Amino acid sequence: MESVITHEGLNLKETELRLGLPGSDKPEKETIYSLRNNKRAVPDSVEDRESVSDAKHETAPPPKAQVVGWPPIRSYRKNCFQPKKADSETGNYVKVSMDGAPYLRKVDLKVYKCYAELLEALENMFKLTIGSEFAPTYEDKDGDWMLVGDVPWDMFMSSCKRLRIMKGSEAKGLGHGV
């Protein structure tokens, strides 16, 4: 069916996952993949389907990082327990954009203990001074844009989804909450 796929010397067939009757090119053990959570990820599920439709033979689609509705557990049950992996090991990375900058950055909020530390890091990262010309804002769980510093640090940590450093006229008059 497939020839051995090699890419830069890696034998990817070793880790390829496929369906097949036992005996005929026995299915490999699954690659270990850890899923973060089961937030509905529509683009992923569509990609899933496309790979199924394109395959001419009976191959299992490569396991995706997020699968909608799998395993079949109601969402409030899933949300009840923080998966141990996500919390302790992986950190809380959020994207940081700055008005006018072409690239985004990412910061791990877990590294900082308070607003002062975070703001200092941002100032270093973007070579700016937070004050009248730059105001740090963030998007919270509800999708609203908030000024950084208004809520207690712990609350900010758990509700911040991404950061945006506003610049210029929009920033003027906002100051910052810290």
Partner 1 sequence: MSEAQAQMSEDDADLAAAAGGASIRTAVVTTGGDYSSPYPDQVLENVLENVLIFLTSRRDRNAVSLVCKSWYRAEALTRSEIYIGNCYSVSPRRAAERFRRVRSVVLKGKPRFADFSLMPPDWGAHFAPWVIEMAEAYRGLEKLYLKRMNVTDDDLAVMARSFGNFRELVLVCCEGFGTAGLAVVASKCRQLRVFDLIEAEVSDDDEVDWLSCFPESGTCLESLIFDCVEFPINFDALENLVARSRSLKKLRVNRFVNLEQLHRLMILAPQLTDLGTGSFSPQDHPIDQEPDLVSAFTACRSLVSLSGFRETVPDYLPAVYPVCANITSLNFSYANITADELKPVIRNCHKLQIFWVLDSVRDEGLQAVAATCKDLRELRVFPIDATEDNVGPVSDVGLQAISEGCKKLESILYFCQQMTNAAVISMSNNCPDLVVFRLCIIGRYRPDHSTGEPMDEGFGAIVKNCKKLTRLAVSGLLTDKAFSYIGQYGKLVRTLSFAFAGDSDLGLKYVLEGCSKLEKLEIRDCPFGDSALRSGLHHYHNMRFLWMSTCRVTRQGCREIAQQIPRVIVEVFRWNQILEEGEKSDLVDTLYLYRSLEGPRADAPKFVNIL
- Exposure string (b/e) for 76-87, b if CB count within 10 Å is 16 or more? eeeeeeeeeeee
DSSP letter assigned to residue 111: G
- Phi, then psi, of 100 in degrees rounded to 5: 95, -20
The residue (of 60 and 174) whose beta carbon lies closer to partner 1 is 60
| Cβ contact 99:137 at 8 Å | no
Measured on CA atoms in the order 116, 119, 125, 126, is the torsion positive or negative? negative
The residue (of 17 and 178) whose beta carbon lies closer to partner 1 is 17
SS3 category, 29 = coil
Count of beta carbons in the 10 Å neighbourhood of residue 165: 24
Would you count residue 94 as binding partner 1 (CB under 8 A)? no
The residue (of 40 and 172) whose beta carbon lies closer to partner 1 is 40
| 4, 8, 26, 102: residue in contact with partner 1 (rule CB under 8 A) | 26
Q: What is the dihedral of CA 34, 36, 40, 42, to 10 degrees?
A: -60
Please tell me the distance from the alpha carbon of residue 92 to that of residue 108, in angstroms, as a whole number. 5
# chain residues binding partner 1, by CB under 8 A: 44
The residue (of 6 and 90) whose beta carbon lies closer to partner 1 is 90
Total length of the chain = 178
Output the smallest distance, CB 81 to partner 1, in A. 5
| 10, 12, 19, 111: residue in contact with partner 1 (rule CB under 8 A) | 19
Which residues from 41-70 bind partner 1, rule CB under 8 A?
42-43, 45-46, 48-50, 52-53, 58, 60, 63, 67-70
| 6, 11, 15, 75: residue in contact with partner 1 (rule CB under 8 A) | 75
Q: For partner 1, which stretch binds (CB under 8 A), given 4-12, 35-43, 113-121, 170-178?
A: 35-43
Interacting residues with partner 1 (CB under 8 A): 17, 19, 21-22, 26-27, 30, 32-38, 40, 42-43, 45-46, 48-50, 52-53, 58, 60, 63, 67-78, 80-81, 83-85
